Structure 1
Amino acid sequence: MKSRNILILGVLAVIAIAVGYTLTATESPEAYLEKVEKERERQFKYLKYNIESPLTELQKKELRALEHYPIDPKYKVRAKMVPVEDRRMLELPMTDGSIEKYLKHSWAEFEWEGKTVRLLLLQAAKEQDKRNFFLAFADATSGSETYGGGRYLNLRQDGKNSITIDFNLAYNPYCAYNPDFACPLPPKENIMEVGILAGEKDYKK
């Protein structure tokens, strides 16, 4: 077989593998819903049964379910990561008046309802895996349908310059369940004017 034919076959094989990977890696709507539901169930079980749960024993006994918005795939967005120019440690205020330090790492930029949204991605001072990020945000639902102190997302960079933000996985900080816990408040950069109708709703005692 001529070397040119071998090269062509090799290229075709690589294309076939790439296409096959794309097809198998593409998540079906059913699989996506199941993944989000499993994460919500994991969160519920942690709060109800784990010894490190912020809930009191009485709260654990009375907890029947966590309230969430219906799962909506449109709230799963792909964002471009833009490095922060003045990358430095940020002193984030806590609900008890203390502060906690996070690195201002990158902006997560994405289009939402015809507008460009920029959210600040933070990294814990002691974070060893540099692909892990923390996103604390508040939106138009904060203080009404969702916790007034904002909600959180734990994110992992999954592209060279991109990251997936799935607001369906947004969860409440510990202080939403128990005021004895101190939680970081969202930075001013992450206070959104729009309502994010996804993720966990406010905890009802």
Structure 2
Amino acid sequence: MKFLLIALLLVFTVSCAQEKKPILGDTPFQKELNAEYKDATTSPLKKKDREHFEGLVFFAFDSAFVVTASIERTPDSKWFKMKTTTDRLSQERVYGILNFELKGTAYQLELYQGQELMTKEGFEDYLFLPFLDNTNGDSTYGGGRYIDLSIPEGDTLIVDFNTAYNPYCAYNEKYSCPIVPRRNYLDTDVTAGVKKFHKSEE
């Protein structure tokens, strides 16, 4: 009887060890995002997608997509209503214009600040960088991707396109996601960050 209990305990222990798989990812950003999406309390995934979720698919980290951008601040910019994937309108303003080079070519992107997020603890310095590029609809989500940034002390900002992620509505249509303004289109292939997500069959 004692032997049987020990055997059952060993089987249970091995089973639990097999079920608890390590979080996948080659960088801290990738591991953090995969952990968030695997956790039912923080994941935007539908239940059927989360049940089979092993990790998001990322481009390999590429230092060429880590750029230093100069900021032209726009302190007099007006608040405007940014369209989203639902009827909701997000109150935003252009915090500044980013100027940078990507693989030898100069680009500009508008950097946004949300009126509602400014009042939330921990998001007072949050800046939102949505962008489109030539991979959208092919290897990446058709609606473009986002990068999270913070207000810098100086007039430059490190932009790491390896941390580009999909809007939540790429995984679940119940979410309301800001639509990337067309002016934030980069006429190049940004092969960095999160790739397109393939949902489970209904």
Bin of the TM-score, shorter chain as denominator length: 0.7 to 0.9
Unaligned runs of 5+ in 2: 1-24
- Residue 56 of structure 2: aligned partner: 66
Count of residues in correspondence between the two structures: 171
2:180 aligned partner, one-letter code: P
Within-5 A mapping of 1:20-59? 37-59=27-49
- Following superposition, the deviation at residue 150 of structure 1 comes to 0.9
CA distance in structure 2 between the partners assigned to 1:184 and 1:124 by the alignment:
11
Q: 2-side partners of 1:99 and 1:195: how far apart?
A: 29
Specify every segment of 5 or more residues in structure 1 that has no aligned partner in the other structure, as ranges: 1-34
Equivalents in 2 of 1:184, 1:131: separation in Å? 19
Q: Which moved more, 1:63-72 or 1:108-117?
A: 108-117
For residue 189 of structure 1, what is the aligned residue in structure 2? Answer: 183
> Partners of 1:159 and 1:85 in 2: how far apart?
15
3-state SS of the aligned residue for 2:148? strand
Kept in 1: contact 2:65–2:102 (CA 8 A): no
Distance across 2 between alignment mates of 1:47 and 1:184: 20
1:137 corresponds to: 131
In 2, the alpha carbon distance for the partners of 1:119 and 1:101 equals 18
Q: Which amino acid aligns with 1:73?
A: S
Identity of aligned residues (%): 29
Instruction: Please report the TM-score for the alignment, with normalisation by the length of structure 2.
Output: 0.78
Pick one of 156, 159, 167 that aligns with 1:173: 167
Please state whether the residue corresponding to 1:43 is helix, strand or coil: helix
Name the residue aligned to 2:154.
Answer: 160
Contact 1:66 1:200 survives alignment (8 Å): yes
Match of 1:199 in 2: 193
Cα distance per residue 1:161-187 (max 9 Å; x no partner): 111100000011100111121100111
Q: Give me the whole-angstrom Cα distance separating, in 2, the residues matched to 1:36 and 1:79.
A: 25
Q: Could you tell me which amino acid in structure 1 is paired with residue 193 of structure 2?
A: G
Q: What letter corresponds to residue 38 of structure 2 in structure 1?
A: K
